[in-house]
């Protein structure tokens, strides 16, 4: 191939040698190739090679299952959605009487997180665990997906218009119609109901509550001529006495009350510190009782006697039932004195469901001059309206065949009522039974028709939790299924002329016009209807506070014989509502099921709380020798059930307790956990009583193999009498082997507590402790890096253990924000829970009647982090801003970091909990909803709740609190984009925003003006770091627990 352009490739070419010419010709000549036998051979080989490679490659490629990622871009991008940027919508989470004003965070059109709405003066930006978890139930794969007829536990699809016709025909045919609801606090829904009842003369609404406050409403009706709940102002009360009312956890409006309560107890510096005093008279340790300064223990049936004792003490009367325990009686006398001293600034509340007891409580408040001060009738609460007596009348009516149509809206009487079997039987006699429930719960399964309502996050609506405080509910996602708003359905059936059926969202227009008619005129803030609506929707709340209303208590006849008489029974039981599961309404939410009960720290079920006993030497025994997780048979009124026991501190002698809400049988993932104890609830005077006498508990009959509790050690400084006469010793569990180790726990720098009167002395002691720690920490091999984080950002946290009431909202918020997997009961049993934030609960003080301190515990982001230097692959390291970071992709799972973490906050993915790896062999033991083959988190619907900003961790890696690094990043970017410095409000962690009491504050420690710096500064020496002296230099400050107990109560 010689070219005449003078270019040559070799000397052979240049010389035009024969050999070269020959080979050059061969090179490109096909003919030559064909003629050459050798080359043929080679070609076949190449062919075989290619064939082999091709087959091999194709086989490998075809046999590897590559997960299909569904990421579909917008064809037309909606105006208000920017991928990667969250939108927030003001809305409200309402479930029966539970209310929370919220902002809903949506990403790419999916609601993924609930935040508190700071504009609401009811919740003031606080949230509850229940509200936080509500977003998960939106993506519940057990939701009913269309209207239809119900048969054998399944819904057969029926078009809405067909269903509507059928129902309207039935309604029009006459007969009584009953709408069974829980409390409804929506004014517009009530209007829709009114239209419905107006249309059908036989129609009536029957309202009850899963956990009843009917007696209180009845008492207030008698005393104040208004069937409402007053506006309790805990923030103004200097002395609070609660008779079994769990106002911080479950009672009526806990988020609001917790805020008010904490306001008067927050630590604001040691000098001249003051705080309210809180007495709790109760028989088992409730969340509220665990926060009290003094608990007075009585048996459940003695509550009436205790109220009478207080009343008698205040009024100088005598008579009525007497308390069995002289100690308690004496304590109530002293409490009365304290209350008297705080006249007009005290508050007495009761969770009793006995009308006369509530009348006495009103009378006591009247005697103390609290009416119109702490018991305010401006802005009364509508959050409980139910009356179970009506429900019982309805059961009779149904039994008599007098009801033609029953519509169940938001209630689940077939589970919730104490005589559910009787209800079910009577309900069966109703011709047409319709349920609005979103899931196939116990009642819906008994119905003939299902008309599933939207989830709250798909709905329009409003709420008026307190008089003059309105808030709006707006949808944050189009309905996922062919469901329809309950209000819309009712209006449709009522053939309402006010419902614009041709509109895209008929109920939206109905709601809007209702607000414009009813509320626009009442307010003065906005001039035009458009502005009024737009701004109200934007803010989520509309407040027209009332003032100047003065209530006067009516003369009511007091009859001490109408209160509950002490049973005299040897063993009594208290039934209580839990923060997470409520009366069972929240049982199908795994986030709530796996949120530990604040006091017992158990998950996934309700357990029989049994007392602990001190043997006087070195053992804490369970009552009757029972251990955690033992099964016993409990018999009340001839009804026998098998319960699992958990040993609990702070029960009154001769008392056991068990939570409501267990043993759901259908409707979702909570089915099959715990026991349904509603059948045990006695009904006295038409009112459900939350305690019973004549309880017999068998010995151990078995063991719950998956007993799940996240904390197995409970005490830190509990004191009991030692074997020597008159000597008080520390009786902490598990430090007691042989002769016991005094101070083994109390000398640890984990929790500190002090009495408010001794605060200045305590601050001095703390100062000494800090000096000692600093001294110890100076002795280090490493060069001093104390100024390493002195510039720029240094993220840190302040936790006020005095403001923390232990409600657990932060924990669920953390789960929601950070995609923390739920692992299920069996895995929690094996201590495999994954929570990044936990609330440690310790008992201290008197063994029989201990006090409690809650300590939210998350990664402490130590500047001298022990986890970091032990990781062989540097998967965990420190950022320049003082954050202890986890690089999941780098983690190989040696778990040394978790061993070396003094706070034990690191969590290892023992299995494929989030199904991130889609590794089925790793998913057998992870959380499955009952009857599902697929793990809970593998469902695409459930996965919609995941926060796209946070990586899903695969199996075999460590994870832990990141200080919500994604929020920090977002805040920093926002500030950068706006070309300004980061402000305190730019970055707030999920736990911080969720907290109803503001106990958690996060921010830049290098900024002296940041809230976190100020809080720590204000706390002074009372602020400490957990395990301060081990030189790990945490970034989280805690301020000690302060109590204001009446030390003379039992002296």
Residue numbers at the binding site for other proteins (CB under 8 A): 711-713, 715-716, 732, 734-735, 737-738, 741, 743-745, 747-748, 750, 827, 830-833, 838, 840-842, 855, 857, 866, 869-874, 890-896, 898-900, 902-904, 906-912, 919, 921-922, 924-925, 954-958, 1026-1027, 1030, 1032
For β-strands 432-435 and 403-409, DSSP reports them as: parallel
Closest CB to other proteins among residues 92, 954: 954
Closest CB to other proteins among residues 131, 958: 958
3-state secondary structure of 795: strand
Closest CB to other proteins among residues 393, 748: 748
φ/ψ of residue 550, rounded to 5: -115, 125
Gap between the Cα atoms of 157 and 1030, Å rounded: 64
Shortest reach from residue 246's CB to other proteins, in Å: 23
Closest CB to other proteins among residues 778, 921: 921
Shortest reach from residue 925's CB to other proteins, in Å: 6
Shortest reach from residue 606's CB to other proteins, in Å: 22
Helices of type H across 299-402:
303-315, 326-341, 355-367, 388-399
Gap between the Cα atoms of 766 and 56, Å rounded: 72
Gap between the Cα atoms of 682 and 596, Å rounded: 28
Gap between the Cα atoms of 414 and 622, Å rounded: 35
Shortest reach from residue 415's CB to other proteins, in Å: 34
Q: Helix (H) and strand (E) counts for the chain?
A: 30, 44
3-state secondary structure of 885: strand
Helices of type H across 368-505:
388-399, 413-416, 420-427, 442-446, 486-493
Shortest reach from residue 913's CB to other proteins, in Å: 9
Gap between the Cα atoms of 175 and 430, Å rounded: 11
Shortest reach from residue 64's CB to other proteins, in Å: 15
Closest CB to other proteins among residues 165, 713: 713
Closest CB to other proteins among residues 315, 618: 618
Distances (CA, A) of 880 to 345, 347, 453: 50, 50, 50
Closest CB to other proteins among residues 70, 739: 739
Gap between the Cα atoms of 795 and 963, Å rounded: 8
Shortest reach from residue 126's CB to other proteins, in Å: 25
* In contact, 93 and 471? CB cutoff 8 Å: no
Closest CB to other proteins among residues 436, 913: 913
Closest CB to other proteins among residues 149, 877: 877
* In contact, 73 and 443? CB cutoff 8 Å: no
Closest CB to other proteins among residues 290, 735: 735
Cβ within 8 Å of residue 336, ≥6 positions away: 310, 313, 314
Distances (CA, A) of 543 to 306, 520, 746: 39, 12, 49
The tokens describing 717, both together, are 């400084």
Closest CB to other proteins among residues 621, 900: 900
Closest CB to other proteins among residues 403, 857: 857
Which run of H or of E encompasses 114?
strand 110-116
Closest CB to other proteins among residues 493, 1024: 1024
Gap between the Cα atoms of 992 and 798, Å rounded: 10
Shortest reach from residue 603's CB to other proteins, in Å: 14
Shortest reach from residue 772's CB to other proteins, in Å: 12
The tokens describing 776, both together, are 């110890």
Gap between the Cα atoms of 589 and 130, Å rounded: 9
Gap between the Cα atoms of 439 and 584, Å rounded: 14
φ/ψ of residue 435, rounded to 5: -120, 140
Gap between the Cα atoms of 1048 and 1046, Å rounded: 5
φ/ψ of residue 1022, rounded to 5: -75, -20
Shortest reach from residue 99's CB to other proteins, in Å: 32
Closest CB to other proteins among residues 476, 951: 951
* In contact, 1001 and 992? CB cutoff 8 Å: yes
Shortest reach from residue 749's CB to other proteins, in Å: 9
Gap between the Cα atoms of 298 and 95, Å rounded: 32
The tokens describing 648, both together, are 């609990």
Distances (CA, A) of 818 to 112, 129, 224, 312, 1006: 11, 15, 48, 53, 26
Shortest reach from residue 614's CB to other proteins, in Å: 18
Gap between the Cα atoms of 249 and 140, Å rounded: 25
Closest CB to other proteins among residues 103, 911: 911
Shortest reach from residue 352's CB to other proteins, in Å: 34
3-state helix, strand, coil in the chain (%, to 5): 30, 20, 45
Shortest reach from residue 402's CB to other proteins, in Å: 56
Closest CB to other proteins among residues 137, 290: 290
Shortest reach from residue 813's CB to other proteins, in Å: 20
Shortest reach from residue 944's CB to other proteins, in Å: 26
φ/ψ of residue 931, rounded to 5: 85, -5
* In contact, 1018 and 763? CB cutoff 8 Å: no
CA dihedral for 35, 39, 45, 46, sign (positive or negative): negative
Shortest reach from residue 267's CB to other proteins, in Å: 22
The tokens describing 441, both together, are 């719960």
For β-strands 715-721 and 98-107, DSSP reports them as: unpaired
* Tokens 């540097």, located at residue: 874
* In contact, 395 and 422? CB cutoff 8 Å: yes
Distances (CA, A) of 735 to 409, 453, 714, 745: 53, 54, 12, 8
Closest CB to other proteins among residues 684, 780: 780
Closest CB to other proteins among residues 312, 951: 951
Shortest reach from residue 391's CB to other proteins, in Å: 42
């Amino acid at each position: 191939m010689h070219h005449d352009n003078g270019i040559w490739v070799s000397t052979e070419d240049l010389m035009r040698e024969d050999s070269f010419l020959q080979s050059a010709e061969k090179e490109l000549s096909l003919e030559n190739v064909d003629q050459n036998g050798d080359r043929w051979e080679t070609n076949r080989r190449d062919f075989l090679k290619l064939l082999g490679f091709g087959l091999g490659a194709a086989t490998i490629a075809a046999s590897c299952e590559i997960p299909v990622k569904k990421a579909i871009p917008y064809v037309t991008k909606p105006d208000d959605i920017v991928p990667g940027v969250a939108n927030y919508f003001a809305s409200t989470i309402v479930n029966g009487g539970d209310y929370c004003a919220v902002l809903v965070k949506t990403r790419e059109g999916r609601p993924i997180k609930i935040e508190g709405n700071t504009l609401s003066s009811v919740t003031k930006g606080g949230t509850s665990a229940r509200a936080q978890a509500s977003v998960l139930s939106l993506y519940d794969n057990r939701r009913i997906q269309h209207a239809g007829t119900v048969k054998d536990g399944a819904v057969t699809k029926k078009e809405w218009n067909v269903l509507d016709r059928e129902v309207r025909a039935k309604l029009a045919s006459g007969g009584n119609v009953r709408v069974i609801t829980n409390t409804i606090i929506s004014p517009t829904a009530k209007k829709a109901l009114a239209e419905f009842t107006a249309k059908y003369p036989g129609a009536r609404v029957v309202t009850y509550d899963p956990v009843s406050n009917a007696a209180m409403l009845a008492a207030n009706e008698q005393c104040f001529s208004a069937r409402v709940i007053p506006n309790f102002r805990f923030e103004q009360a200097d002395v609070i006495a609660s008779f079994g009312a769990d106002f911080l956890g479950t009672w009526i409006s806990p988020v609001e009350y917790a805020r008010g309560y904490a306001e008067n107890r927050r630590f604001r510096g040691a000098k001249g510190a003051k705080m309210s005093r809180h007495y709790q008279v109760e028989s088992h340790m409730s969340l509220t009782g665990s926060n009290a300064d003094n608990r007075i223990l009585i048996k459940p049936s003695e509550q009436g006697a205790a109220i009478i004792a207080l009343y008698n003490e205040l009024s100088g009367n005598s008579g009525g039932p007497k308390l069995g325990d002289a100690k308690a009686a004496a304590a109530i006398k002293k409490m009365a004195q304290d209350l008297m001293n705080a006249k007009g600034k005290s508050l007495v509340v009761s969770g009793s469901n006995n009308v006369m007891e509530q009348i006495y409580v009103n009378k006591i408040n009247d005697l103390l001059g609290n009416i119109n001060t702490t018991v305010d009738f401006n802005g009364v609460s509508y959050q409980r309206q139910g009356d179970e007596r009506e429900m019982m009348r309805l059961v009779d009516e149904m039994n008599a065949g007098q009801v033609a149509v029953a519509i169940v809206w938001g209630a689940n009487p077939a589970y919730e009522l104490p005589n559910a079997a009787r209800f079910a039987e009577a309900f069966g006699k109703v011709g047409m039974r319709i349920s609005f429930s979103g899931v196939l719960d116990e009642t819906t399964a008994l119905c003939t028709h299902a008309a599933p309502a939207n989830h709250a996050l798909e709905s329009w609506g409003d709420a008026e939790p307190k008089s003059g405080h309105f808030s709006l509910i707006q949808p944050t996602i189009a309905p996922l299924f062919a469901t329809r708003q309950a209000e819309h359905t009712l209006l449709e059936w009522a053939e309402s002329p006010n419902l614009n059926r041709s509109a895209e969202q008929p109920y939206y227009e109905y709601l809007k016009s209702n607000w414009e008619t009813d509320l626009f005129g009442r307010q003065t803030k906005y001039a035009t209807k458009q502005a009024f609506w737009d701004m109200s929707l934007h803010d989520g709340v509309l407040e027209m506070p009332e003032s100047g209303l003065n209530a006067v208590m009516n003369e009511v006849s007091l009859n001490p014989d109408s209160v509950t008489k002490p049973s005299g029974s040897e063993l009594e039981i208290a039934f209580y509502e839990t923060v997470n599961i409520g009366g069972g309404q929240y049982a199908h939410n795994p986030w709530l099921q796996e949120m530990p009960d604040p006091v017992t720290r158990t998950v996934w079920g309700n357990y029989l709380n049994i007392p602990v006993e001190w043997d006087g030497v070195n053992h804490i025994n369970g009552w009757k020798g029972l251990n955690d997780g033992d099964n016993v048979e409990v018999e009340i009124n001839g009804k026998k059930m098998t319960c699992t026991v958990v040993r609990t501190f702070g029960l009154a002698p001769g008392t056991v307790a068990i939570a409501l809400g267990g043993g759901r049988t259908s409707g979702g993932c909570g089915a099959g956990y715990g026991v349904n104890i509603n059948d045990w609830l006695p009904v006295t005077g038409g009112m459900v009583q939350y305690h019973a006498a004549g309880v017999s508990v068998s010995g151990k009959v078995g063991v719950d193999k998956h007993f799940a509790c996240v904390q197995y050690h409970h005490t830190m400084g509990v004191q009991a009498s030692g074997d020597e006469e008159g000597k008080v010793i520390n009786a902490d569990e598990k430090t007691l082997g042989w002769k016991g180790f005094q101070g083994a726990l109390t000398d640890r720098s984990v929790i500190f507590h002090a009495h408010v009167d001794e605060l200045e002395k305590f601050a001095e002691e703390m100062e000494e402790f800090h000096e000692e720690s600093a001294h110890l920490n100076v002795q280090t091999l490493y060069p001093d890096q104390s100024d390493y984080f002195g510039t720029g950002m240094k993220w840190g946290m302040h936790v006020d253990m005095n403001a923390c009431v232990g409600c657990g909202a932060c924990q669920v918020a953390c789960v929601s924000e950070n995609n923390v997997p739920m692992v299920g009961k069996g895995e929690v049993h094996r201590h495999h829970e994954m929570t990044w934030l936990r609330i440690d609960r310790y008992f201290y003080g008197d063994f029989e009647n201990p006090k409690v301190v809650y300590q939210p515990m998350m990664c402490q982001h130590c500047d001298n982090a022990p986890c970091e230097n032990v990781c062989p692959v540097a998967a965990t390291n420190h950022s320049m801003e003082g954050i202890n970071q986890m690089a999941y992709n780098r983690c190989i799972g040696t778990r040394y970091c978790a061993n070396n973490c003094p706070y034990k906050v690191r969590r290892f993915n023992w299995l494929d909990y989030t199904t991130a790896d889609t590794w089925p062999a790793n998913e057998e033991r992870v959380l499955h909803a009952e009857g599902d083959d697929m793990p809970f988190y593998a469902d695409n619907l459930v996965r919609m709740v995941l926060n796209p900003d946070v990586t899903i961790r695969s199996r075999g890696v460590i994870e832990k609190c990141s200080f919500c690094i994604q929020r920090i990043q977002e805040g920093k970017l926002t500030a950068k984009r706006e070309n300004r410095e980061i402000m305190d409000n730019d970055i707030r962690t999920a736990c911080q925003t969720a907290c109803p009491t503001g106990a958690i504050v996060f921010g830049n420690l290098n900024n002296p003006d940041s809230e976190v710096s100020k809080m720590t500064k204000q706390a002074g020496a009372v602020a400490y770091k957990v395990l301060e002296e081990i030189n790990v230099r945490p970034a989280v400050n805690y301020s000690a627990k302060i109590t204001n107990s009446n030390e003379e109560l039992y002296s």
